[in-house]
Chains A and B, each alone.
Chain A
Amino acid sequence: MSAPLCKKEFYIQKFDFEHAGKAASDARKLLMDYGFDQQIVRRVAIAAYEAEMNMVIHGYGGTLILEINFEYIQLVAEDNGPGISDLKLAMQEGFSTASDEIREIGFGAGMGLPNIKRCVNFLGIETKPGRGTVVTMRVNLGPDAL
Protein backbone atom coordinates (compact mmCIF):
# COMPACT_ATOMS: atom_id res chain seq x y z
CA MET A 1 0.00 0.00 0.00
CA SER A 2 1.38 3.35 -1.00
CA ALA A 3 1.18 6.38 1.28
CA PRO A 4 -1.80 8.70 0.74
CA LEU A 5 -1.28 11.72 -1.49
CA CYS A 6 -2.93 13.87 1.11
CA LYS A 7 -4.23 13.35 4.61
CA LYS A 8 -6.14 15.85 6.69
CA GLU A 9 -7.84 15.63 10.08
CA PHE A 10 -10.78 17.69 11.27
CA TYR A 11 -11.95 17.87 14.87
CA ILE A 12 -15.68 17.86 15.49
CA GLN A 13 -17.30 19.20 18.67
CA LYS A 14 -20.39 17.75 20.28
CA PHE A 15 -23.54 19.83 19.72
CA ASP A 16 -21.55 22.68 18.15
CA PHE A 17 -24.14 23.67 15.57
CA GLU A 18 -22.37 26.94 14.90
CA HIS A 19 -19.40 25.17 13.30
CA ALA A 20 -21.00 21.89 12.32
CA GLY A 21 -20.47 21.34 8.62
CA LYS A 22 -17.21 23.28 8.54
CA ALA A 23 -15.12 20.11 8.30
CA ALA A 24 -17.13 18.78 5.36
CA SER A 25 -16.97 22.20 3.74
CA ASP A 26 -13.19 22.41 4.13
CA ALA A 27 -12.78 18.86 2.84
CA ARG A 28 -14.93 19.75 -0.15
CA LYS A 29 -12.85 22.83 -0.94
CA LEU A 30 -9.68 20.79 -0.76
CA LEU A 31 -11.05 18.27 -3.25
CA MET A 32 -12.11 21.08 -5.57
CA ASP A 33 -8.61 22.55 -5.38
CA TYR A 34 -7.28 19.16 -6.42
CA GLY A 35 -9.54 19.40 -9.44
CA PHE A 36 -11.60 16.27 -8.85
CA ASP A 37 -14.70 15.68 -10.96
CA GLN A 38 -17.78 17.55 -9.72
CA GLN A 39 -19.79 14.39 -9.11
CA ILE A 40 -17.00 12.81 -7.10
CA VAL A 41 -16.67 15.97 -5.00
CA ARG A 42 -20.40 16.09 -4.38
CA ARG A 43 -20.56 12.46 -3.26
CA VAL A 44 -17.62 12.83 -0.89
CA ALA A 45 -18.97 16.13 0.45
CA ILE A 46 -22.41 14.70 1.22
CA ALA A 47 -20.95 11.61 2.90
CA ALA A 48 -18.55 13.78 4.92
CA TYR A 49 -21.31 16.12 5.99
CA GLU A 50 -23.68 13.35 7.08
CA ALA A 51 -20.89 11.63 9.03
CA GLU A 52 -19.86 14.94 10.60
CA MET A 53 -23.43 15.74 11.65
CA ASN A 54 -23.83 12.28 13.14
CA MET A 55 -20.74 12.88 15.28
CA VAL A 56 -22.06 16.30 16.33
CA ILE A 57 -25.52 14.97 17.16
CA HIS A 58 -25.07 11.36 18.24
CA GLY A 59 -21.37 10.66 18.75
CA TYR A 60 -20.32 13.24 21.37
CA GLY A 61 -18.02 14.82 18.77
CA GLY A 62 -15.10 13.11 17.07
CA THR A 63 -12.58 13.26 14.26
CA LEU A 64 -13.05 13.24 10.50
CA ILE A 65 -10.05 12.09 8.50
CA LEU A 66 -9.82 12.71 4.78
CA GLU A 67 -7.31 10.75 2.74
CA ILE A 68 -6.69 11.02 -0.97
CA ASN A 69 -5.18 7.91 -2.53
CA PHE A 70 -4.60 6.96 -6.13
CA GLU A 71 -7.54 4.58 -6.25
CA TYR A 72 -10.01 6.25 -3.92
CA ILE A 73 -10.84 9.10 -1.59
CA GLN A 74 -11.34 7.86 1.95
CA LEU A 75 -13.18 9.40 4.86
CA VAL A 76 -12.98 8.01 8.37
CA ALA A 77 -15.32 9.37 11.04
CA GLU A 78 -14.24 8.29 14.51
CA ASP A 79 -15.97 9.02 17.77
CA ASN A 80 -16.00 7.84 21.36
CA GLY A 81 -19.73 8.22 21.68
CA PRO A 82 -22.42 5.78 22.79
CA GLY A 83 -22.09 3.51 19.76
CA ILE A 84 -24.97 2.14 17.72
CA SER A 85 -26.77 -0.73 19.42
CA ASP A 86 -28.62 -2.03 16.35
CA LEU A 87 -26.69 -1.22 13.21
CA LYS A 88 -29.12 -2.94 10.85
CA LEU A 89 -31.93 -0.79 12.19
CA ALA A 90 -29.79 2.37 12.04
CA MET A 91 -29.13 1.73 8.34
CA GLN A 92 -32.84 1.72 7.51
CA GLU A 93 -34.31 4.84 5.94
CA GLY A 94 -36.39 6.71 8.49
CA PHE A 95 -34.88 5.22 11.62
CA SER A 96 -33.66 7.90 14.00
CA THR A 97 -33.15 8.36 17.71
CA ALA A 98 -32.82 12.15 17.32
CA SER A 99 -34.74 14.33 19.79
CA ASP A 100 -37.44 16.85 18.89
CA GLU A 101 -34.92 19.68 19.38
CA ILE A 102 -32.66 18.09 16.80
CA ARG A 103 -35.57 17.63 14.42
CA GLU A 104 -36.47 21.29 14.77
CA ILE A 105 -33.09 22.28 13.37
CA GLY A 106 -33.52 20.00 10.37
CA PHE A 107 -31.95 16.69 11.37
CA GLY A 108 -33.35 13.36 12.43
CA ALA A 109 -34.98 12.19 9.21
CA GLY A 110 -33.10 8.94 9.61
CA MET A 111 -31.64 9.42 6.15
CA GLY A 112 -28.00 10.13 6.98
CA LEU A 113 -26.52 6.64 6.96
CA PRO A 114 -28.61 5.53 3.94
CA ASN A 115 -27.46 8.71 2.18
CA ILE A 116 -23.86 7.87 2.91
CA LYS A 117 -24.35 4.35 1.56
CA ARG A 118 -25.71 5.74 -1.70
CA CYS A 119 -22.81 8.16 -2.13
CA VAL A 120 -19.87 5.83 -1.54
CA ASN A 121 -18.44 2.68 -3.10
CA PHE A 122 -17.43 1.21 0.24
CA LEU A 123 -18.99 1.74 3.67
CA GLY A 124 -17.72 0.01 6.77
CA ILE A 125 -19.11 0.71 10.25
CA GLU A 126 -17.52 -0.60 13.41
CA THR A 127 -19.35 0.24 16.56
CA LYS A 128 -19.26 -0.83 20.19
CA PRO A 129 -22.02 0.14 22.60
CA GLY A 130 -20.60 2.54 25.16
CA ARG A 131 -17.27 2.82 23.34
CA GLY A 132 -17.77 4.59 20.04
CA THR A 133 -18.19 4.31 16.31
CA VAL A 134 -15.80 4.27 13.36
CA VAL A 135 -17.34 4.88 9.95
CA THR A 136 -15.06 4.23 6.97
CA MET A 137 -16.18 5.51 3.57
CA ARG A 138 -14.49 5.27 0.18
CA VAL A 139 -15.31 6.83 -3.14
CA ASN A 140 -13.46 5.22 -6.02
CA LEU A 141 -11.48 7.25 -8.49
CA GLY A 142 -10.68 6.23 -12.02
CA PRO A 143 -12.51 3.76 -14.27
CA ASP A 144 -14.61 2.03 -11.62
CA ALA A 145 -15.99 5.26 -10.16
CA LEU A 146 -19.80 5.10 -10.05
Chain B
Amino acid sequence: MNLYDVASKLDATILTPKLDLSRQVYCAYGADLLSDVLAFTRPSTLLLSGLINIQVVRTAEMAELGGIVVVRGKPVHHSLQELACACKIPLLWTELTMFESCGRLYQSGIKPCIKDAGCDCHVCPSV
Protein backbone atom coordinates (compact mmCIF):
# COMPACT_ATOMS: atom_id res chain seq x y z
CA MET B 1 0.00 0.00 0.00
CA ASN B 2 1.41 3.41 -0.84
CA LEU B 3 0.85 6.71 0.92
CA TYR B 4 -1.91 7.78 -1.46
CA ASP B 5 -3.79 4.64 -0.45
CA VAL B 6 -3.13 5.44 3.20
CA ALA B 7 -4.52 8.94 2.68
CA SER B 8 -7.69 7.61 1.12
CA LYS B 9 -8.18 4.93 3.80
CA LEU B 10 -7.89 7.57 6.51
CA ASP B 11 -9.80 10.33 4.69
CA ALA B 12 -6.61 12.27 5.20
CA THR B 13 -5.41 15.55 3.76
CA ILE B 14 -1.95 15.54 2.23
CA LEU B 15 0.06 18.37 3.76
CA THR B 16 3.16 17.83 1.64
CA PRO B 17 1.70 17.72 -1.88
CA LYS B 18 5.10 18.30 -3.47
CA LEU B 19 6.52 15.04 -2.13
CA ASP B 20 6.22 11.72 -3.88
CA LEU B 21 3.66 9.62 -2.05
CA SER B 22 3.94 6.56 -4.22
CA ARG B 23 6.41 5.04 -1.75
CA GLN B 24 5.22 1.81 -0.18
CA VAL B 25 4.55 1.34 3.50
CA TYR B 26 4.41 -2.08 5.12
CA CYS B 27 4.35 -1.38 8.82
CA ALA B 28 3.14 1.36 11.11
CA TYR B 29 3.66 2.57 14.65
CA GLY B 30 1.34 4.71 16.72
CA ALA B 31 2.91 6.79 19.49
CA ASP B 32 3.09 10.10 21.26
CA LEU B 33 6.47 9.37 22.81
CA LEU B 34 9.30 10.02 20.41
CA SER B 35 12.04 7.95 22.03
CA ASP B 36 9.71 4.97 21.71
CA VAL B 37 9.48 5.75 18.02
CA LEU B 38 13.26 5.87 17.75
CA ALA B 39 13.55 2.59 19.64
CA PHE B 40 10.90 0.50 17.95
CA THR B 41 10.58 1.55 14.33
CA ARG B 42 12.50 0.55 11.23
CA PRO B 43 13.26 2.63 8.17
CA SER B 44 10.12 3.31 6.08
CA THR B 45 7.73 2.74 9.00
CA LEU B 46 4.62 4.94 8.91
CA LEU B 47 4.18 6.92 12.13
CA LEU B 48 0.76 7.83 13.50
CA SER B 49 0.94 10.48 16.19
CA GLY B 50 -0.98 13.19 17.97
CA LEU B 51 2.18 15.28 18.20
CA ILE B 52 2.40 18.40 16.05
CA ASN B 53 5.71 19.92 17.09
CA ILE B 54 8.90 20.18 15.04
CA GLN B 55 10.37 17.21 16.92
CA VAL B 56 7.97 14.75 15.34
CA VAL B 57 9.48 15.53 11.93
CA ARG B 58 13.03 15.50 13.30
CA THR B 59 12.37 12.08 14.78
CA ALA B 60 11.01 10.81 11.48
CA GLU B 61 14.06 12.21 9.72
CA MET B 62 16.54 10.50 12.07
CA ALA B 63 14.70 7.18 11.96
CA GLU B 64 14.15 7.43 8.18
CA LEU B 65 10.43 6.85 8.54
CA GLY B 66 8.17 6.54 5.52
CA GLY B 67 5.78 9.26 6.60
CA ILE B 68 3.73 10.78 9.41
CA VAL B 69 -0.02 10.80 9.93
CA VAL B 70 -1.22 13.48 12.35
CA VAL B 71 -4.34 12.07 14.01
CA ARG B 72 -7.39 13.55 15.75
CA GLY B 73 -7.38 16.64 13.58
CA LYS B 74 -4.71 18.49 15.53
CA PRO B 75 -3.96 21.88 13.96
CA VAL B 76 -0.67 21.74 12.07
CA HIS B 77 1.44 24.88 11.88
CA HIS B 78 2.78 25.94 8.51
CA SER B 79 6.36 25.62 9.77
CA LEU B 80 5.83 21.91 10.40
CA GLN B 81 4.66 21.43 6.83
CA GLU B 82 7.69 23.29 5.56
CA LEU B 83 10.12 21.26 7.65
CA ALA B 84 8.48 18.01 6.60
CA CYS B 85 8.80 19.05 2.99
CA ALA B 86 12.46 20.05 3.43
CA CYS B 87 13.22 16.74 5.18
CA LYS B 88 11.25 14.82 2.54
CA ILE B 89 8.94 13.30 5.12
CA PRO B 90 5.37 13.00 3.77
CA LEU B 91 2.85 14.47 6.18
CA LEU B 92 -0.81 13.44 6.27
CA TRP B 93 -3.58 14.84 8.43
CA THR B 94 -6.77 13.12 9.52
CA GLU B 95 -9.62 13.92 11.87
CA LEU B 96 -9.91 10.25 12.85
CA THR B 97 -8.71 9.23 16.29
CA MET B 98 -5.50 7.28 16.81
CA PHE B 99 -7.57 4.16 17.48
CA GLU B 100 -9.64 4.35 14.33
CA SER B 101 -6.69 5.34 12.16
CA CYS B 102 -4.68 2.37 13.37
CA GLY B 103 -7.70 0.10 13.03
CA ARG B 104 -8.37 1.06 9.44
CA LEU B 105 -4.75 0.56 8.46
CA TYR B 106 -4.49 -2.76 10.27
CA GLN B 107 -7.59 -3.96 8.49
CA SER B 108 -5.98 -2.99 5.21
CA GLY B 109 -3.01 -5.22 5.89
CA ILE B 110 -0.48 -2.83 7.41
CA LYS B 111 1.63 -4.72 9.93
CA PRO B 112 2.69 -3.73 13.41
CA CYS B 113 6.29 -2.74 13.84
CA ILE B 114 7.52 -5.84 15.60
CA LYS B 115 10.26 -8.12 14.53
CA ASP B 116 8.36 -11.26 13.55
CA ALA B 117 5.42 -9.61 11.86
CA GLY B 118 6.30 -11.27 8.58
CA CYS B 119 7.04 -7.91 7.06
CA ASP B 120 7.89 -8.23 3.38
CA CYS B 121 9.49 -4.87 2.86
CA HIS B 122 13.12 -4.82 1.81
CA VAL B 123 14.51 -2.75 4.64
CA CYS B 124 13.62 -4.95 7.58
CA PRO B 125 16.56 -7.03 8.72
CA SER B 126 15.75 -10.71 8.35
CA VAL B 127 15.12 -11.60 12.00
Minimum CB–CB distance from A90 to chain B (whole Å) comes to 13
- Asked if B54 CB lies within 8 Å of chain A CBs, one says yes
Interface assignment of A137: CB less than 8 Å from any CB of chain B: no
Query: How many interface residues does chain A have, given as a range?
Result: 20 to 34
A68–B55 Cα distance when bound, in Å, is 26
- Is the C-beta of A17 less than 8 angstroms from some C-beta in chain B? yes
Contact of B63 among A18, A20, A42, A105 (CB under 8 A): A42
- Contact between B58 and A21 (Cβ–Cβ < 8 Å)? yes
CA distance A20 to B34 in the complex (A): 13
Per the 8 Å Cβ criterion, residues 51-81 of B in contact with A are 51, 53-56, 58-59, 61-64
B117 interface residue, CB < 8 Å from A? no
Does B32 count as interface, using CB distance less than 8 angstroms? yes
Partner of B35, one of A22, A24, A50: A50
Give A44 Cβ to nearest chain B Cβ, in Å: 9
B1 contacts the other chain (CB 8 A)? no
Q: Are B35 and A18 in contact, CB atoms less than 8 angstroms apart?
A: no
- Cβ of B62: which chain A residues have Cβ within 8 Å of it? 21, 24-25, 28, 42, 45-46, 48-49
Other A-B contacts than A48-B62, A49-B59, A105-B55, 11 sampled, CB-CB below 8 A, are A20-B58, A21-B54, A25-B62, A25-B87, A45-B62, A46-B38, A105-B51, A106-B32, A106-B53, A109-B33, A111-B35
